[in-house]
Amino acid sequence: MEQTNFQLKKQDAQSHEWDVRLHRATRATREDWLGRGISYLCIGVIILVVASMLWFITSKGIATFTQNHVSLWKFLSGTNWAPDQGNIGALPMIVGSFAVTFAAAIVATPFAVGTAIFMTEISPNKGRKVLQPVIELLVGIPSVVYGFIGLAVVVPFMRHLVGGSGFGIISATFVLFVMVLPTITTMTVDSLRAVPRHYKEASLALGATRWQTVSRVILRSATPGILTAVIFGMARAFGEALAVQMVIGNAAIMPKNLISPASTLTSQLTTGIGDTIDGTLPNNALWSLALILLLMSLFFNALVRFIAKRGQLKNGR
Amino acid sequence: MGAKRTDFIATVIINLIVAAVVGILIFLLAYILIAGLPHVSWSFLTGTTDAFSGAGGIGVQLFNSFYLLVLTMLISIPISLGAGIYLAEYAKDNWRTSLIRSAIEVLSSLPSVVVGLFGFLLFVVKFKIGFSVISGAIALTFFNLPLLTRNIEESLSAVPRNQREAGLSLGLSKWKTEIGIILPVALPGIVTGIVLSAGRVFGEAAALIYTAGQSAPVTNFADWNPMDAASPLNPFRPAETLAVHIWKVNTEGLASNASQLSAAASAVLIIAVLLFNLGARVLGNFLYRRVTASK
């Protein structure tokens, strides 16, 4: 009796041990937990960075309105920027930023689309061998070098051509045009390549010339993609700081024409933020400019998404 | 005949546009190299800068640029590798993943000056570290992370599914499969992306002006102890990089030969970036051949 009891107990213990072993995670599972943990941690760091960036800049940017009690409307519509005297009208910078952005996009788009058509439709071979490296090199040139060339070449040229100092919106447009050109071109090439081949074949089979095919079929069906490309270019132009700051003249006054010194949000930020004291109105006002930059960047992002969605719907139908 | 004529005219215009674009690039490169290279000499590359006027050599700046680049890569490669693996392997197709993706997209589309200002706010104002190498490196990491993450994710996702299935069917964990099988195959693409992003980081200035600072204190290149204040490796000293130097000389420099100085510095910067681009291509091809054993 006692012996059987003992045996039973032993059996029990054994099965219990097996139970534990079978339910214990294997090495592979534990490895997987570790890997999962590491990769979750890394993505968490990125999310944390984005969240804190949005939070810090927003809370700093709205201090002008919550602590210094400047009215939002006065900030956005005022034309007098003299933070030391308490005048913080940001309109000159806002107008400056939008002016250079739109001007650069308007000049760059025909060049970018033309280059993209050449690369995809006219001579794909030369496109790959010559233009692809050209575009990559243009992307690779750092923005300070663009700024330096603007300062050394474009500004004297404009001074010579139209008089005045040579600094101004038009010089900034020239520099930004070259800077956004590769962005718009690359993305336009992608969207032209994504046009189904049979569209082109059908059009050519109907007897359309190459230009008719390109302008009425290929460009038409690639329009959402090209729009996205232009918006990406505009986002880059809007946020570009140093190259613009070097050639625009940095005068915080309403731009009356294209050839007099003006300033943009980014140029005002780069020149000003080091000279102001944390927590004062001039400093807060600059952070409000940074907030506008941030919001515009989010807006461009949303716009791209919106167009992508619209484009999808059209193709799905 | 109208249609054919329009076709001809359009072709001519497009060819002119392309010629203009190529011409712009040739002009840019030729201008920088012709204006800059004659002033590049050994003493320029290794000399020190006069702190007041900004004249003189760029030795310290050149070292700072490379040091910042190495630190930035040391921080950002592991994080983006982990994040890339998460997106390629673990992320499910749901709202949380799409939120994460949009967060990364937002980070990549933020102007670099905003990223720099955030770094300034966090490290210089809040943590009181001051203008330092480490602040600059972390700001550059913020700027670098989204691009690197996307590049790594794309390279990993491009690896054929059956390689993954082979690993899993051998009883390897997902993690082991990813590290041991998928990562080596994706390596050429990842390395190309890393070297290209190194070129971008090397030329970045807007994010550094208020994080790594605009002064390059002369350092003692015989002292390699990172804890010493005068050591070039000390991560808490301000470090003006080459790109920031070009900006500074042009905007506030008092040097009489500012234009020559910045042309020479630009030439050095451009050559470095070109080498990075070329290196990315060569290294990528080389690794591709090694990994795939194809000629």
User: Is A256 a residue whose pLDDT tops 70?
Assistant: yes
The pair of structure tokens assigned to A41 is 């941690």
Instruction: Give me the pLDDT at residue A24, please.
Output: 79
Contact B13 A209 (CB under 8 A): no
A255 pLDDT band (50/70/90 cuts)?
confident
List CB contacts (< 8 A) between A148 and chain B.
246, 250, 262-263, 266
What pLDDT score was predicted for residue A109? 95
Asked if pLDDT for residue A316 goes beyond 50, the answer is no
State the pLDDT at residue B176: 87
Q: At what angle do helices A91-117 and A265-272 cross, to 10 degrees?
A: 120
Within-domain flag for B14: no
pLDDT score of A8 more than 70: no
pLDDT bin (cut points 50, 70, 90) of residue A250 is confident
Question: Does any domain span residue B2?
Answer: no
Concatenate the DSSP letters of all residues of A126-142 into one string: HIIIIIHHHHHHHHHS-
Does the beta-carbon distance from B87 to A43 stay under 8 Å?
A: yes
Q: Per-residue pLDDT averaged across B34-43, rounded?
A: 82
A82-125 pLDDT per residue, tens: 877 878 888 889 999 999 999 999 999 999 999 999 999 888 88
Give me the mean pLDDT over the B43-58 stretch.
70
| Cα distances (angstroms) measured from residue B33 to each of A155, A158, B20, B28 | 20, 23, 20, 9
Q: Do B117 and A111 touch (CB under 8 A)?
A: no
Cα–Cα distance measured from residue A68 to residue A272, given in angstroms and rounded to the nearest whole number: 19
Is B21 within the bounds of a domain?
no
Contacts of B266 in chain A (CB under 8 A): 144-145, 148-149
Measured between beta carbons, the chain A residues lying within 8 angstroms of B142 are: 49, 53
Q: Alpha carbon of A253 to those of A78, A91, A134, A270: distances in Å?
A: 11, 9, 38, 17
| Residues 6+ positions from A82 with CB-CB distance below 8 Å | A88, A252
Residue A291 DSSP class:
H
Using only C-alpha atoms, what is the Rg of chain A? 29
CB contact under 8 A, B7 and A211: yes
Q: Picking from A220-229, A237-246, B181-190, B221-230, which range would have the lowest pLDDT averaged per residue? A: B221-230
Eight-state DSSP code of residue A280: S
Place of tokens 């060339």: A149
Task: Check pLDDT > 50 for residue B66.
Answer: yes
A115 reaches B (C-beta below 8 A): yes
Instruction: Supply the DSSP string of B228-267, one letter for each residue.
Output: STT-TT-TTS----HHHHHHHHHHT---TTHHHHHHHHHH
Does the predicted interface ipTM exceed a cut of 0.95? Answer: no
Over residues A21-49, the pLDDT tens digits come to: 777 778 888 888 888 899 999 999 999 99
A47 touches chain B (CB under 8 A): yes
What confidence score (pLDDT) does residue A313 get?
55
A155-186, pLDDT tens digit by residue? 888 888 887 788 888 899 999 999 999 999 99
For chain B, the average pLDDT equals 85
Is there a contact between A140 and B273 if contact means CB atoms under 8 Å apart?
Answer: yes
Residue B99: inside a domain, yes or no?
yes
Q: Looking at residue B150, which CATH number applies to its domain?
A: 1.10.3720.10
Is B172 among the domain residues? yes
Answer yes or no: is pLDDT of B228 > 70: no
Its domain, for residue B84, covers 40-292
Q: Model confidence over B105-137: pLDDT tens digits?
A: 889 888 989 999 899 888 888 888 888 888 999
Res. A129: pLDDT tops 90: no
Per-residue pLDDT, B229: 65
**pLDDT band, very low/low/confident/very high, at A229 (cuts 50, 70, 90):** very high
Q: What is the predicted pLDDT for the residue at A172? A: 92
Q: Are A105 and A300 in contact (CB under 8 A)?
A: no
pLDDT digits (tens, 9 = 90+) for B72-83: 999 999 999 999
- The domain locations on chain A are 2-61, 73-316
In this predicted structure, the answer to whether residue A317 has a pLDDT above a threshold of 50 is no
Per-residue pLDDT for B101 more than 60? Answer: yes
What is the pLDDT, as a whole number, of residue A3? 59
Q: How far is B57 from chain A (nearest CA, A)?
A: 18
Average pLDDT over residues B165-179: 87
pLDDT score of A189 more than 50: yes
Q: Give residue B253's pLDDT.
A: 61
| Helices marked H in chain A | 2-23, 27-61, 63-66, 72-77, 91-117, 124-126, 132-140, 143-149, 155-162, 169-193, 197-205, 210-213, 219-221, 223-239, 242-248, 265-272, 281-316
* pLDDT-above-90 percentage for chain B: 21
Cα gap A288→A91, rounded to integer Å: 12
**A57 close to B (CB below 8 A):** yes
Full-model pTM: 0.87
In A, which residues are within 8 Å of B179 by CB distance?
35
Which among A248, A95, A105, A97 is positioned nearest to A170, based on CA atoms? A248
CA angle B245, B248, B254 (to 5 degrees): 115
Report yes or no: B30 at the A interface, CB cutoff 8 Å: no
Higher pLDDT, A290 or A164: A290
Cross-chain CB nearest to B83 (options A42, A136, A145): A42
| Interacting residues of B32 by C-beta distance below 8 A, sequence separation 6+ | A145, A149, B263, B266, B267, B270
Residue range B226-244: mean pLDDT, rounded: 77
Residue A199 has pLDDT above 80, yes or no: yes
Largest distance between two CA atoms of chain B: 79
Among A28-42, A254-268, B6-20, B256-270, top mean pLDDT goes to: B6-20
User: Which range scores top for mean pLDDT: A66-70, A169-173, B250-254?
Assistant: A169-173
pLDDT on residue A12: 73
Total domain count for chain B? Answer: 1
> Measured between alpha carbons, how far is A263 from A154 in angstroms, rounded to an integer?
17
Domain presence at residue B8: no
Q: Is A280 on the interface with B (CB under 8 A)?
A: no
Contact between B118 and A273 using a beta-carbon 8 Å cutoff? no
- Do B79 and A152 lie within an 8 Å CB cutoff? no
Select the CATH number that applies to the domain covering A73-316 from these four: 3.50.50.60, 1.20.1560.10, 1.10.3720.10, 3.40.50.300. 1.10.3720.10
* A170-195 b/e (C-beta count within 10 Å ≥ 16 → b): bbbbbbbbbbbbbbbbbbbbebbeeb
In a domain, B171, yes or no: yes
